[in-house]
Structure 1
Amino acid sequence: MAHTPEVLFVCVHNAGRSQMAAALLQHHALGRVAVRSAGSEPAEKVNPAAAEALAEWGLDIAAEIPAKLSTADVEAADVVITMGCGDACPIFPGKRYLDWDLVDPAGKSVGAVRPIRDDIDRRIRGLLAELLDT
């Protein structure tokens, strides 16, 4: 049986960028990739503008609960994608690390979040093609 790649998205609050990335990868991967997201300092709830931007595409993250990043999350992942969390993410040999320089959607309107969503979606499609060798 083939190994299912696992991707971990990490940002500070796990309320915007990492939540959008996780939802988009889950959507596009159709179960072929295990997906998690976490934050070094999780917020109490998902960013409403990020949730609204994804809802425009039929994806619902409004009920997601930001999670605290753990060492176990990183250990389990094949690919760890950071999004502005600095040195908060533990580094383990043999893991693939990517740092996506994305605008933080915190405090922004849905109109300002749409280009961030679109950038994440473009990156997700490229990552998925790499992971699945398509």
Structure 2
Amino acid sequence: MTWTPNDTDPTKDTHVLGRMSEHLAERYAGTFTPEMIERYVFESYATLGRTARVRTYLAAIATRFADDRLRALAQSMGSIAKDNPQVLFVCVQNAGRSQMVAALLAEVSGGRVEVRSAGSLPAGEIQPLAVELLKEHNISLEDAFPKPLTDDVVRAADYVITMGCGDTCPIYPGKQYLDWDVADPQDMTLDEARGIYAGIEHRVTELWERIQSS
């Protein structure tokens, strides 16, 4: 999905968001009320809209974000079974580091881990450098987008991996918290970023081995 700038009036998305809320209400029938789902959808839209640099697909992206949050909340409540371990990666902007390691873990695990990422102060778009770096390893960030850290995804996680976001992530018992010292590639050249990829790959591989042995 490619985002392109336009001058979309956010109020035009109201009907679309309402229709998408109805679809999610069918998916989560018996778990969440339609009113709660609609609130999640519109709240997610407003939150992403504060930082999004483009708005062409904002309604669809917001619905994906709301759906993932609702799924995480349902998992934490036990309403949806957690068939795979849940890993959450958190950095500041959710535009580079956390997006890269999340995509890499999904690739390394072969989809046997449910991976999420978030940012304490999310950026408006994914760093082009992160996209290019992963493309070299045949890993796509095409559908990725920066999103804020929310309580529901933390509650669902079994592992929470932070990278330079300080104390913004809430602490809940029964979860494994790790802090990784990973440089932010934002101001690096592609050659410099390649230098941190090996370290990222090593950390992700070790994490996957740790998950498998637990």
Please classify the TM superposition score into its range, dividing by the shorter chain length.
over 0.9
What is the aligned counterpart of 1:57 among 131, 134, 137?
137
Q: Could you say which structure has the higher helix fraction?
A: 2
Structure with the larger RCO, 1 or 2 (CA within 8 Å, 6+ apart): 1
What is the aligned counterpart of 1:83 among 145, 150, 163?
163
Counterpart in 1 of 2:5? none
What is the aligned counterpart of 1:101 among 161, 181, 184?
181
5+ residue gaps in structure 2?
1-80
Q: Could you say which structure has the higher strand fraction?
A: 1
What is the aligned counterpart of 2:94 among 7, 11, 14?
14
The equivalences for 1:116-131 within 5 A come to 116-131=196-211
Q: Give the letter for the 1:45 counterpart.
A: E
Counterpart in 1 of 2:107? 27
Task: Tell me the secondary structure at the aligned position of residue 90 of structure 1.
Answer: coil
Counterpart in 1 of 2:194? 114
- Residue identity over aligned pairs, in percent, reads 49
Q: CA deviation at 1:103?
A: 0.8
Query: Is 7-16 or 112-121 further displaced after alignment?
Result: 112-121
Q: CA deviation at 1:62?
A: 4.0
- Structure 1 residues 42-64: Cα deviation after superposition (integer angstroms, max 9, x where no partner): 11111111111110001111441
Task: Tell me the secondary structure at the aligned position of residue 9 of structure 1.
Answer: strand
CA–CA distance in 2 between the matches of 1:100 and 1:84?
8
Q: Give the letter for the 1:108 counterpart.
A: M
Counterpart in 2 of 1:36? 116
- Structure 1 residues 44-102: Cα deviation after superposition (integer angstroms, max 9, x where no partner): 11111111111000111144110110011110000000000001111111110000011
Which 4+ stretches in 1 moved above 3 angstroms? none
TM-score by length of 2: 0.60
Count residues with an aligned counterpart: 134
What is the aligned counterpart of 1:71 among 137, 151, 154?
151
5+ residue gaps in structure 1?
none
CA–CA distance in 1 between the matches of 2:132 and 2:191?
10
Larger radius of gyration: 2
